[in-house]
Structure 1
Amino acid sequence: MTTQTRPDARPANPCFSSGPCAKRPGWNLKNLEKALLGRSHRSKPGKARLVEAIEKTRTILGVPADYKIGIVPASDTGAVEMALWSLLGARGVDMLAWESFGSGWVSDVVKQLKLKDVRRLEAGYGKLPNLAEVNFKNDVVFTWNGTTSGVRAPNGDWIPADREGLTICDATSAAFAQDLPWAKLDVTTFSWQKVLGGEAAHGMLILSPRAVERLETYTPAWPMPKIFLMTKGGKLIDGIFKGETINTPSMLCVEDYIDALNWSESIGGLKSLISRADGNAAVIAEWVERTPWVDFLAEDVKTRSNTSVCLKVVDPTITALSDDDQAAFAKKIADLLDKEGVAYDIAGYRDAPAGLRIWAGATIEVDDMRALTPWLDWAFAQVKASLSATA
């Protein structure tokens, strides 16, 4: 039920952006005092910090001991591009896409790598492609959690253990908030600035033994940029996965990531991180259930994200407007809440259908999410009233 009464309680932290996301509760610049500023990342202390970040990642996420974990440049995008350019072309490719980032990977493979043996399995915002149609004789590229659509893979059951091709998974808004089935994933990527609220520009690349074997037995037909190279003389450059990064990382960002990992451990690890995200998403779900003007963009509750929660306005007065006017209406809600200092950066993604996108990941406090929902009702009522006044 909407209300025009201005709420009294405010979220203590108005940062609900879907990336970079809110810092962890209790975060303070003083937590980064041990950062090795002015030191080489190749020094013994610098390399030790990078190894610490890698091994804490392995422990918290439960990554198998025989999987390689590397810190790479250019955020999740850099990690995905390294995988696409280095691994694809050995066999056919199935490209799965159900939102803008997945569509971007399709474009890269078709237009930049110019691969010919490509099957495109795509679905509109709010839906998944038919996962039963995936051909696992091919390599398969997909996003686990569609950050701009709020639609995620339901589980890993659709991926066979005896697949012939590699699975390349962009898990940037899923890692640390959803249970990833490592045995089903050959390449997994994410960035620090999503679920753990770390700083931007650094990506994580996780390789299974099958992916390493491909790297060591297959040479792509195209020239490889130096920044993408992971092999030398037909062998994996193992140092990349032991703290010897491809280019210079920010040791301040590394320290911030370690701080987020330490916080994750302190609250109980992956299980607690998932529980926090689920709890935040449940608050939104309860509000949507009782609120007639809004609904989830994701059509199936089984594939609804617990991190990047995407919403659409379903009030008949608003849905009768043109697409551009609906987008303008949703943006006015987001802008009003930003002006009030209640919620920052919650407009839907620029390529997505008109609506709102609220981050519900583990760094969000459930009390802040509860405090936000009355403000959403208030803002909707205010913007709708202004629309009626100018009609």
Structure 2
Amino acid sequence: MGDIAVTDHTKPAMRPARPEFSSGPCAKRPGWTPENLQNAVLGRSHRSKLGKARLKEAIDRTRQVLAVPDDFLIGIVPGSDTGAVEMAMWSMLGARPVQLLAFESFGKDWVTDVTKQLKIEAEVLSAAYGELPDLTKVRKDADLVFTWNGTTSGVRVPNGDFIADDREGVTICDATSAAFAQALPWAKLDVVTFSWQKALGGEAAHGVLILSPRAVARLESYAPAWPMPKLFRMTKGGKVNLEIFEGATINTPSMLCVEDAIDALKWAERIGGLAEMQRRADANLDALARWVAKTEWVEFLAADPALRSNTSVCLKVVDPRVTALDEAAQADFAKKLASTLEKEGVALDIGGYRDAPPGLRIWCGATVETSDLDALTPWLDWAFESLASDLQAA
């Protein structure tokens, strides 16, 4: 549709103090500075006594803030959340039937891993962006792989009721945009994964892998038929390698990133722990919901409020001037909307995910201040009206 010039409408007077609304890596915690990382173990082996102690502190603080049961194992692993999920799938699947929930991009990636790479004939329960699959079809006799919160779709499962208490399979839950913002029912989950770069506002490239006793039993009773890369190996002599879950990582971690995660977890404890982090994320979603309710040109991608994410909030443009355009032109409009806000320095990295329907994606996790979202919404209106009026004139 060609270039769209922004008409010179009056710009809002207030600006977000922090314009970082990226869905990953996400905004650093309020008050963060590099000086917070002075205790980082630099120039030393991560296997030194001091290095292992810092890794163990990150694990212990994770258990405390997330209220992880004492009999669950927590490990720091390579490859961000993706690495953690793939470690679990490569190590545990194949022992019994497999189901996967696919309602956003990463869930679809896990389908590819299981069906194309591991070549397991799995049942895929899928749904369009903004919706959930039929959760009543989840079987208790099958292993289940699913994302709790769709980072790219703005949809989350409402609770764990769809998972049977007497399940026979293991549940592998990609919780990377849910942990620290949404309630995770540990009794329903056997593998939980996330990365520091999401709700903690930490740094990338490291994943966290949490295993229930049922997951440990699977690892110790089942050996997959396929070769296992070193990065995925969690057992030694048929037993889980407990050193991984005490701070001895499989490969070399960045101790600077570890220190940053410790700093974020300390901040979480100071503000009131998990309950306060969830409250902050809910308040941020509420701020956007109030704006959407009075704004005609935008709607949530997730129509059902019960399924709406309080972290990766996805919005779609519903104004007739835009919806009348073809799909490519709508995508172009959404990109220009995000880039206009970025050029103004009021919202960085809020374009929708590349595989998702055209729109905006605004991170609302606990490290974002509600006051910044309140300051952002007038800018969203300004950018839209500026672009849409020029579109209409053209």
2:239 to 198, 223, 235: 235
Spell out the pairing of 1:251-290 with structure 2 (5 A cutoff): 251-290=255-294
Contact 2:321–2:392 (8 Å) recurs in 1? no
Matched, 1:315 2:342: no
Aligned-pair CA distance for 1:161:
1.1
Report the Cα distance in structure 2 between the residues aligned to 1:280 and 1:360, rounded to whole angstroms.
5
- 2:331 corresponds to 1:327: yes
2:40 match: secondary structure: coil
Separation of aligned partners in 2, 1:59 and 1:365: 24
Whole-Å separation in 2 of the counterparts to 1:235 and 1:165 = 20
Q: What is the aligned partner in structure 1 of residue 193 from structure 2?
A: 189
Give the Cα separation in 2 of the matches to 1:194 and 1:355.
Answer: 20
Deviations 1:287-325 (A, max 9, x none): 000000000000210010000000000001111111111
- The counterpart of 2:350, out of the listed 338, 346, 350, is 346
What CA deviation, in whole Å up to 9, does each residue of 1:273-295 have, x standing for no partner?
A: 00000000000000000000000
CA distance in structure 1 between the aligned counterparts of 2:74 and 2:58, rounded to whole angstroms: 10
| 2:207 is aligned with 1:203 | yes
Q: Show the counterpart of 1:41.
A: 46
Q: Which amino acid aligns with 1:170?
A: D
The equivalent of 1:168 in structure 2 is: 172
Distance 1:330 1:97 in 2: 24
Alignment of 1:50-199 (within 5 A): 50-116=55-121, 118-199=122-203
Residue 232 of structure 1 deviates from its aligned partner by 1.2
SS of aligned partner of 1:253? helix
CA contact (8 A) 2:111 2:124 kept: yes
Q: What secondary structure sits across from 1:52 in the alignment?
A: helix
Equivalent residue for 2:15? Answer: 10
Of 10, 20, 27 in structure 1, the residue corresponding to residue 32 of structure 2 is 27
How far apart are 1:385 and its partner, in Å? 2.0
Classify the secondary structure of the residue corresponding to 1:105: helix
The offset of 1:266, in angstroms, is 0.3
> Hey, what does 1:293 align to over in structure 2?
297
Q: Distance in 2 between matches of 1:184 and 1:5?
A: 52
TM-score, normalised relative to structure 1:
0.98
Runs of 4+ in 1 over 4 A off after TM superposition: none
* Offset from partner CA, 1:112-135 (integer Å, 9 cap, x none): 00012x111000000000101111
1:159 Cα deviation (Å)?
A: 1.1
SS of residue matched to 2:371: helix
2:48 aligned partner, one-letter code: S
Structure 2: unaligned runs, 5 residues or longer: 1-7
1:387 Cα deviation after fit: 1.5
Amino acid in the other structure paired with 2:82: T
SS in 2 for 1:259: helix
Q: Secondary structure at the match of 1:193?
A: coil
Tell me how far 1:143 sits from its aligned partner.
0.1
Report the Cα offset of residue 104 of structure 1: 0.5
Aligned sequence identity (%)? 69
User: d(CA) in 1 for partners of 2:45 and 2:352?
Assistant: 40
Q: What SS does the aligned partner of 2:50 have?
A: helix
User: Quick check: 1:337 aligned with 2:341?
Assistant: yes
Deviates more, 1:3-12 or 1:35-44: 3-12
| SS of residue paired to 2:284 | helix
CA contact (8 A) 2:180 2:199 kept: yes
Is contact 2:180-2:200 (8 Å) kept? Answer: yes
Q: Deviation per CA, 1:113-170, whole angstroms, max 9, x where unpaired?
A: 0012x11100000000010111120000000000000000001111111100000000
Q: Is the 8 A contact 2:191 2:212 kept in 1?
A: yes
Alignment of 1:217-228 (within 5 A): 217-228=221-232
SS of equivalent to 1:262: helix
Shift of 1:4: 4.0
